Amino acid sequence: MISTQRLALPLLALACALGAGGAVAETLNVQLASDIRSSRPGVNRDALSDNVALSVGEGLVAFGEGGNILPMLAESWTVSEDGTVYTFTLREGRTFHNGAEVTAELVKQSWEATMAAPEFNCAGFFDGTRGARVTGIEAPDARTVVITLDQPEAMFLKNTAQSQCGGMAITHPDSFAADGTWDHPVGTGPFTFGEWRRGQSVVLEKYADYQPLDGGIDGFGGHKEALVDTVNLVVTPDRATAIAALRSGDLDVVPFLSTSEAAELTADPDFEVKSSPHGGMITLLMQTADPVLSSTEMRMAVAKALDIPQLVEVATDGLGTPNASLVPEGSVYHSAVHDEGIAYAPDEVPALLEAAGYDGQELVIQTNRRNPINENVAVLSQAMLQMAGINSRIEVLEWATQLDRFRSGSFQMSAFNYSNRADPVLAYSAVTASKEDRGSAIWDDPRAIELVAEATSTPDGEARQAIFDELHQLYLQQMPFVMLANNLTVSVNASYVQDYSTWNGFARFWGVSVDR
Amino acid sequence: MTRFVLSRLISAIPTLFLVSLAVFTLIRLIPGDPVSLMLGDNIDDTAYEAMSHQLGLDRPIPVQFLLWLQGVFQGDLGRSITTGQPVLPLVLQRFAITAQLVLVAVGLATLLAVPLGMLAAWRQNSAFDLGVVVGATALMSIPTFWMGLMLLLFFGLQLGWLPVLGYVSPFEDFGAGALYLIMPVAALVLHECGILVRMARASTLDVLRLDYVTHARAKGLTEGQVLRRHVFRNAFGPTWTLLGLILGNLLGGVAVVETVFTIPGLGRLIVESIYGRDYPVLQGCLLFVAVTYVVVNLIVDLCYPLFDPRVKTT
């Protein structure tokens, strides 16, 4: 006969196990539309690789929601009077995923290794090609990092925080294999880099010793606490399969969805569709060097022929909001000046066409089917231009081909989206340059180029605001292209996923919990 | 036999060379290149030139081709522009996954289709024959991606019996691996079955009309003996040829099925490398596919005498 005492222990163990039900490891399964290119922040990257880098790594500073710069691994910094020396003070007690403490010497080594990487995407921002050159990185003591530039650079901190630069995430030397090649990131972020099965999945594990900052979630900074134990990023190239997997519960989040697919799921109570605009730009580009479109009157006629609110509404399935300015609505620089746009005025188009000497020449609008918004913009624009008496046709290209034509400037009109720009000056510099220097330049007005250069070296504040205001007014006078709206990230998650959101085009896995 | 194999392999060399040259040239003639894709809309001419130089893409195309060819002779197919992985191990790894899928599917399709086709021919113009013909035609007509999606929706989503996405190697976990392979294998089996049934039926019908079959029946052999001993061996030849072609095609990658079922196979790698303009990977994959095709068809030819003693490989 089994005694009560002998039964008591197993029963107690069972009760403990049942009581610990809340501690069952929770996994967030997320679609990854294609595999990441590499695991090294800012090196051989694309947007999906950046997303992983931003979850695993942290830089000295990070972007906040308003495009402002927040402290991250650095708790504070000072800039010398001449604007060339940045002195960062590191937070105490921050550790890498291998348990090693974050020291100034390791920060210096990480920066130097990243800048020396041949495929470092942001080399131009730090080697003097596209701004100031980093001439020295010093670690005078364990908590102080001093970075010296060859000239003042107002964009230095913002370049440092850019997602395409991997946020200049600080990684431990253990990230490299014994032969000096990159192995996997040993960073400081809320998630550690787990198993990467190429072509199949990337697993991120909660970093148990992560010390979140106080406050709330703010851009890529602020309170970054991992609430799930594992994020399983599953490579699922086919969107129909991803939606089926979401419905079956094999996926919890599909982070990047077309607006039309999202529209189909909006009414379903099992899912939450979230749309968040970012600093990317939905545009209808015009080649100002083209014989027909070189006339300002002609470009103005095109702009006035477009009913932009309607176009944006339809092209984005009601999820987008028109924005006539390159300064995103969420930016602190989006003043009332930037609310001004070219109003829909088809009655004025004939006079403008006559003034431009337009004689019915056909305009070709290039687009692609990879991004449904581009295709919608092209189709709707063509219809509106035809109605206004502007002869146009659509040329659908494969994305790589359209990009190639964009690079060389070989287009008349192009329904084109620019990727996320975290600062207005990055948005303006993407379109503004001399066409002789850069084939992809759209706006080559000397005054605009001068203003962008000025904004690049002007620190945040009123002077910068004035520059952006003048740039927008100049844009409205010259209409070098049609800015339609800010691009959006549309995501869908199962309703049992709580507090999931994307910001600036990236999925944030911290602060997300799952209650199945 | 050895001379036959050697002569076939030697005659494949010009084919492989031409395939390599065509692939190498054509992919570079398509507008768009890996550097543009990597730099995206952040592109400027300085960055473009620097990265092109770094990847060796600024060299003349004939020089690039010769360098690549030199690597091929040394067993080095280069490195992926996208991920930096060496191409040969990558291709072999992906091929192993595709091969599992395809060999199981073609094996099952053959086991199902050949008896069905033969029985349909034997019962020509019966309700069974009509059912097989209609079914085979329907299966042939349904695109594999649609078949895949329907299987996924029904067995994965509605019934919840099978996993909707993911892949587990059967060599790591046989049970789970088999579970993940059921739907993609079924999609391929159903489609290939349709084609094989039609071929098996047609060739069996031809053989059934021959005099020696009548003679065999007149000897008093049972219908089963006639079909097994006399009809099958003679009727299987065309189906076997078709099987070789199907196998060669499928081993070259079943991109659609692999994409729908998220299987990281060779087909998906080819598609990704085309969209990503990953020249070394695409060149490596297509060279490998061409070699596979040659080898599979050589094996098919070598197996002919097993079914038809009239065929000799000398």
Contacts of A253 in chain B (CB under 8 A): none
CB spacing of B264 vs A118 below 8 angstroms: no
The answer on pLDDT for A466 being more than 70 is yes
Q: What is the pLDDT of residue A328?
A: 92
Size of interface A-B (CB pairs under 8 A): 130
CA of A378 to nearest chain B CA: how many angstroms apart? 19
- The class level of CATH for A4-252+496-514 reads alpha beta
Tens of pLDDT, residues A59-107: 999 999 888 899 999 999 999 999 999 999 999 999 999 999 999 999 9
| Residue spans in chain A of domains classed CATH 3.10.105.10 | 277-489
pLDDT band for position B186 (cuts 50, 70, 90):
very high
Q: What is the pLDDT of residue B46?
A: 78
CB spacing of B269 vs A234 below 8 angstroms: no
CB spacing of B166 vs A250 below 8 angstroms: yes
Cα distance between residue A334 and residue A397, in whole Å: 34
Sign of CA pseudo-dihedral B246, B252, B256, B258: positive
Q: Which CATH superfamily is domain A277-489 in?
A: Dipeptide-binding Protein; Domain 3 (3.10.105.10)
Residue of A nearest to B156 (CA): A248
Contacts of B163 in chain A (CB under 8 A): 250
Measured CA angle at A238 (ends A234, A239), to 5 deg: 95
Contacts of B94 in chain A (CB under 8 A): 199
Tens of pLDDT, residues A252-264: 999 988 888 888 8
A468, containing H or E segment? helix A462-478
Phi, psi values for residue B159, rounded to 5°: -85, -25
The answer on pLDDT for A7 being more than 50 is no
Give alpha helix (H) positions in A208-333.
239-248, 259-265, 296-305, 308-315
Question: For residue A189, what is the DSSP state?
Answer: S
Cα distance between residue A283 and residue A276, in whole Å: 18
| Residue spans in chain A of domains classed CATH 3.40.190.10 | 4-252+496-514
In the block, tokens 């969107």 appear at: A239
CA of A157 to nearest chain B CA: how many angstroms apart? 19
Cα distance between residue B78 and residue B87, in whole Å: 6
- Per the CB < 8 A criterion, the answer to whether A159 and A83 are in contact is no
Among partner residues B51, B82, B260, which is closest to A37 by beta-carbon distance?
A: B82
Mean pLDDT of all residues in B240-269: 89
Residue B10 or A378, more confident: A378
Mean pLDDT of chain A: 91
Using CB atoms and an 8 Å cut-off, which of residues 384-403 of chain A contact chain B?
Answer: 397-401, 403
Q: Is A327 on the interface with B (CB under 8 A)?
A: no
